[in-house]
Amino acid sequence: MFSDTHFHFSMMMQEERSSILTALEDRKCFFGLDIGTHCDDLAARIEIVKNSDSEKKIKQFMYFSAGIWPAVEAIKDRENQIKELEKQILSVQELDAELKKKICAIGECGLDHHWNPSGTDGRCESDFDREVFLGEAEMFEMQLELAKKFNLPVIVHSRDAFEGTLECIKNVSYDNGIIHCYSYGLEEAKAFLDRGWYLAFGGGVTYTKKSKMEQMKELLCYVPKERLLLETDAPYLAPVPFRGKPNTPLLIDNTYNFIARMRETSAEELSDMVDENIRRLFKL
């Protein structure tokens, strides 16, 4: 089973979560990363997995990140949010030595300047006055600093905010982690790769229009084999032919197949490459 470096397990229905865990276990999945988005969701997300039939599954392939997505409410309360995030991480680490190894990243965190009031995030440009705009960058930098403190990689959310994301990274001088759900072009990829970041691609790449296919192929082939990762961002961004439907880690083979074709390799070879990158990045 192909590894998945980014999914939101707690957003799926209870029955679906249980069946997905069973399927991933049956398929001998090497690695699945359940992503945090709120300062206080870590313990609850771990419990969801632990209560899904058996703890054996959590010890096999499930890992967790802890982070704060850049929602306006979180930005305005960022100092308390960061304190609670660190408190949750330390609490879990102190309670369970086995789980301490399973918390392998900070994030997702970062910047989002995609304005779509009718979208799931409900983001309005008018919400981002100067104070909130600067506060968003500060909250991102605070999480980069936290990752540095714990010596953990960062899962970076960056949407329509390339320059700001790079500036925050430079300010903290911590280049360790993933630019998740990569959505920029070749020049931006070079900037991140030159600093040592991994790039993760999800189901969105399968939406590429024919007129843009050569550019996508150039981008996917440019990323060095030792810096490439794949993800679902489930329950979002289901790959073709499931676009528009809820996404799950069980659909990630469609993304592997697409990227393997672009890179002119096999899905199996791509899987081995990604697994090796996961081992290196997360020190498994």
Whether the full predicted model's pTM is greater than 0.85, yes or no, is yes
99, 102, 106, 107: CA torsion to nearest 10: -110
pLDDT digits (tens, 9 = 90+) for 125-142: 888 899 999 999 999 999
Look at residue 204 and tell me whether its pLDDT is greater than 90: yes
Mean pLDDT to the nearest integer, 223-247: 97
Q: What are the backbone angles phi and psi of residue 80, rounded to the nearest 5°?
A: -65, -35
Alpha-carbon distance of 33 to 24, in angstroms, equals: 12
**β-strands 154-159, 228-230 pairing:** unpaired
What does the pLDDT read at residue 124? Answer: 81
The domain total for the chain is 1
pLDDT digits (tens, 9 = 90+) for 38-69: 999 999 999 888 887 666 767 789 999 999 99
What does the pLDDT read at residue 242? Answer: 97
Could you tell me the CATH number of the domain that includes residue 115? 3.20.20.140
Question: Which of residues 180 and 59 earns the better pLDDT score?
Answer: 180
The residue range of the domain holding 132 is: 4-282
Q: 3-class DSSP state for residue 136? A: helix
